[in-house]
Amino acid sequence: MARAATTSDVFNAIAEPQRREILVLLRAGERSVTELAQELEMTQPGASKHLRVLRKVGLVRDRKAGKQRLYGLDASGLRPVHEWTGGFEQFWNESFDRLDAYVQDLKQTRKAE
């Protein structure tokens, strides 16, 4: 099966580490492309390209502020990722419960020795 285009699928869009870094920076508030590029030590065209992808999948919104454009996080676009990862919650909880039981058994064994 062919992989979805990066610009149409949130999972593919956030697979790129620099895009995830942009999302982390935008959690603190709106920023211009220049600020993002400087913070991430990348070129402005590179940052713009990543922002365009994030905007197309609904993770980033933009607005005009004077002569510049400000970008902000639209976390509602992460809902499919949240729902998918949430499906693993029971697995991890059970794994941690088994680990905790194992540690408790080790403690009891050491006390008995």
pLDDT digits (tens, 9 = 90+) for 57-90: 999 999 999 999 999 999 999 999 989 988 888 8
Whether the predicted pLDDT of 1 surpasses 90: no
Residue-wise DSSP of 23-76? HHHHTT--EEHHHHHHHHT--HHHHHHHHHHHHHTTSEEEEEETTEEEEEE-GG
**Helix 44-56 and helix 33-40, axial crossing angle in degrees, nearest 10:** 110
Whether the predicted pLDDT of 7 surpasses 70: no
* pLDDT recorded at residue 97: 87
Query: What does each C-alpha distance from 56 to 8, 84, 96, 106 come to in angstroms?
Result: 7, 20, 38, 52
Mean pLDDT of 92-96: 88
Q: What is the pLDDT of residues 23-45, one digit of tens each?
A: 999 999 999 999 999 999 999 99
Map out the domains of the chain as residue ranges: 10-87
The pTM for the full model equals 0.76
- Residue 62, CA atoms < 13 Å, CB-side half-sphere: 15
Helix (H, G, I), strand (E, B) or coil at 3: coil
Q: Nearest 5 degrees, angle CA 99-CA 101-CA 103?
A: 70
CATH annotation of 10-87: 1.10.10.10
More confident residue, 5 or 82: 82
